[in-house]
Structures are given as C-alpha cells and as structure tokens.
Structure 1
Amino acid sequence: MQTNSKILDDLAKVAQGAVGAAFTARDEVRSRLRAEFERVLDRMDLVTREEFEATRAMAAKARDEQEEMTGRIAALEARLAALEAPAQGKTQNKAKAKSGTRTQSAPRAKSTGRSKSSAAADKAETGATEAGARKPRTRRTKAQSSGEQPGERSDS
C-alpha cells in the first residue's frame, strides 16, 4: 500500500503546484489588466474622485450663494419700489398743479436730431404730401432708365 500512497502524494503535490500556478497567473493577469486600465484612463484625462468631490462642493456652495444673492436682490428691489412709490406720487402732484387737471403729459414727437428743413427735404424726396399720403410712383421702363426717349428703340 505504500505505492498507492506514494502515487497519491505525488498527485497531491502536482495538484497543489497547479493550483499555486493558477493563483500566480491570476494575480499576474489581474495586475497587468489594472496597469492597462490605468494607462487608458490616464489618456482619457479623467478627474480623480477627490477632485470631483471638491468641485461638487464648490458648485453646491456657489449655488447656495447665488440663491442667497437672489433673495437679497429681491428684497432690495422691493425696498427700492417702496421708496419710489411716494416719490412718483409727489411728481404727479406737481404735474397736476402745473398743468391743471391733466396728469399725463402729451406724447412728444420723436426727435431725430435733424433740422426742420432737412426733415422737409426728406419728406419731399419720399413723395409724401402734407396729409401724409404718398404720391403714386410710376414705373420706369428699361428704355427710360438707359436714357432713351419714349418711342425710341435701341438696336442692341
């Protein structure tokens, strides 16, 4: 029986060596894959978890500050409106006293910054009459625009 046990011992040693080699190969494949993934990720220019968390915290802080500033602006606008309301009432009262019963001023003509003579010249050029209607325009023919007299024909 000694021989059976020697054969089994040898088989056990071979199996143990094979299992050990498999674990070693597994560890080697794992380390090579990790190295390859890290190389690929480095080329992708990704951020680390720490950088991401820091940026996320900064964005949350900025959002909170922006909400706070929005509230402060709304409060300031309300204060400004409250301060302007009595001031507008005073100016309307002054306008009533100045013009009698009228509260709103008459609309003014739009100022173009040009003299009256240039505005009249523009009116004449566009063909506008005193009533504001335009004069009918006649269409020029090809012969008239080239300088020919009506009835003449060019031989071109």
Structure 2
Amino acid sequence: MTQTQGRLFDEFAKLMNDAAGVAQGARREVETVFRAQGDRFISEMDIARREDIEIVRDLAAKALGEVERLSARVAELEAKLAAAAPTMAPDEPVDGA
C-alpha cells in the first residue's frame, strides 16, 4: 500500500507540474495578445510618444527664449527711437539716410 500511495503522490505531483506549466504558457499567451492589442489600439489613436512631447517642449522653451530676447531688443530700439525723436525734424528719415 505504501508503494501505491507514493506512486499516486508522484503522479499527482507530475500532474500539478504539468498544470502549472500549462497555466504559465497560457498566461504568457494572454499577456502577448493583450500587449499586441494595446499597441494596436494606441497606434490607431494617434497618441504622441513621451519622447516626441519632450522634443516639442524643448523647442517651445527655445522659442520662448528667442521671443523674450527679441522683445528686449525691440524695447531697446523703441527707447532709442523715442530718445532721438524730439531732436529730429518731422520729415527726417528715422534711419538717418
């Protein structure tokens, strides 16, 4: 009887190992299908990638810096023009030509 019980437990252990292997294989298959469906869904939705957003953010920061620099330059030129305006005659060109 002891040998029969040991053999029964061995068979049961093999059955459980096989079932665990099948379950892991099924889990991997479900993950693969789910990931593929998710990738397809995201690609169809035209969602921007994080890298693309970071590139646009960097470009916007550079453009904002350039706008600020040019605004300061325009203010400086307007100040020079305003300072020179009272000394110029009304029909005299601004650039001195």
Normalised by the shorter chain, which TM-score bucket?
0.7 to 0.9
Gaps of 5+ in 2: 91-97
Partner residue, 1:11: 12
Larger radius of gyration: 1
Deviation sequence 1:87-143 (CA, Å, 0-9, x none): 37xx7xxxxxxxxxxxxxxxxxxxxxxxxxxxxxxxxxxxxxxxxxxxxxxxxxxxx
Which amino acid letter does the alignment assign opposite residue 70 of structure 2?
M
Comparing both structures, which one devotes a greater share of its residues to helix?
Answer: 2
Which aligned pairs between 1:69-108 and structure 2 lie closer than 5 A?
69-87=70-88
Tell me the distance in 1 between the aligned counterparts of 2:24 and 2:77.
71
Partner residue, 2:93: none
Partner residue, 1:55: 56
TM-score by length of 2: 0.79
Deviation sequence 1:12-67 (CA, Å, 0-9, x none): 11111111111111111111011111111111122222222222211111111111
Which amino acid letter does the alignment assign opposite residue 5 of structure 1?
G
Gaps of 5+ in 1: 92-156
Tell me the distance in 2 between the aligned counterparts of 1:53 and 1:18.
46
Partner residue, 1:31: 32
State the shift of 1:81 in Å. Answer: 1.1
Tell me the distance in 2 between the aligned counterparts of 1:51 and 1:32.
26
Tell me the distance in 1 between the aligned counterparts of 2:16 and 2:86.
95
Q: How many residues align?
A: 89
Tell me the distance in 1 between the aligned counterparts of 2:11 and 2:68.
76
Tell me the distance in 2 between the aligned counterparts of 1:86 and 1:12.
104
SS of equivalent residue, structure 2 residue 48: coil
Moved over 6 A (4+): none
TM-score by length of 1: 0.52
Which amino acid letter does the alignment assign opposite residue 86 of structure 2?
A
Which amino acid letter does the alignment assign opposite residue 83 of structure 1?
A
Q: Which structure ranks higher in relative contact order (CA pairs < 8 Å, sequence separation ≥ 6)?
A: 2
Which amino acid letter does the alignment assign opposite residue 69 of structure 1?
L
Alpha-carbon RMSD across the aligned residues, in angstroms, is 1.8
